[in-house]
């Protein structure tokens, strides 16, 4: 928060997704608790692998390879789930379960066709419950970039040689903040500041990763 002063005001007006999901799921009896537990375990593995890679500024080949192994395992498992019963719903796994399923799709870059297919499902659910606009926006950017097109919401960055984040090509940058606001994403300048802080090599890695989750950026989620 000290490094990026604009984050405080934004975070105060936007409850973190995990807190919002916990409130929505309070007292809910899901129809597939086993699937919800598996999604939670795989979501935790996803974030743990990314926190480890982030600790080295995404420049440790061992940590990066371990992250890709987790992603590949999660992708194969989730594709089988979706083929068998469709993309999870809040009734089946709760709001947090849906968020965990989305997280696995967001990091399934080795299968852009699967990401695009899930995106269509999530777009069709936007008017209902269980899908966050921010999640649809971030997956949209991933799908567009995989198709060789500029992203729409500026959510995707890549590390440069020195570890600092560099934006992927983005359409109509003059109006990107309007598009981000419409999808419940923080202003791009605040997001860039958080990324610069998060990707810099640090001793206080655990604190940095936790701060990124507390603010609810589109870096990992």
Which secondary structure element, helix H or strand E, spans residue 182, and what is its range?
Answer: helix 176-182
pLDDT tens track for 24-52: 888 889 999 999 999 999 999 999 999 99
What token pair was written down for 133? 């606009």
Strands (E), the chain: 157-159, 165-167
Q: Which two tokens mark 112? A: 């852009």
For residue range 51-100, list pLDDT tens digits in order. Answer: 998 888 777 999 999 999 999 999 999 999 999 999 999 999 999 999 99
Banded model confidence at residue 129, pLDDT cuts 50, 70, 90: low
* Tens digits of residue pLDDT in 149-201: 999 999 999 877 776 788 899 999 999 999 999 999 999 999 988 888 776 65
* Residue spans of alpha helices (H) in 56-132: 61-85, 90-106, 112-125
């Amino acid at each position: 928060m000290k490094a990026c002063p604009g984050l405080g005001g934004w975070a105060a007006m936007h409850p973190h997704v995990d807190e919002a999901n916990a409130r929505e799921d309070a007292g809910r009896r899901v129809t597939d608790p086993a699937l919800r537990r598996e999604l939670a375990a795989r979501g935790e593995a996803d974030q743990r692998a990314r926190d480890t890679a982030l600790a080295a500024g995404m420049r440790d080949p061992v940590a990066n390879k371990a992250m890709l192994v987790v992603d590949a395992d999660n992708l194969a498992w989730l594709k089988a789930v979706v083929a068998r019963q469709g993309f999870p719903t809040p009734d089946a796994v709760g709001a947090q379960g849906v968020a965990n399923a989305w997280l696995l799709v967001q990091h399934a870059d080795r299968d852009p066709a699967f990401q695009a297919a899930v995106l269509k499902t999530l777009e069709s659910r936007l008017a209902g419950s269980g899908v966050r606009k921010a999640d649809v926006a971030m997956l949209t950017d991933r799908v567009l970039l995989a198709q060789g097109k500029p992203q729409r919401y500026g959510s995707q960055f890549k590390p440069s040689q020195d570890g600092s984040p560099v934006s992927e090509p983005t359409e109509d940058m003059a109006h990107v903040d309007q598009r981000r606001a419409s999808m419940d994403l923080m202003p791009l300048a605040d997001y860039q500041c958080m990324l610069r802080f998060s990707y810099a090599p640090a001793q206080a890695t655990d604190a940095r990763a936790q701060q990124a989750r507390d603010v609810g950026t589109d870096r990992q989620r």
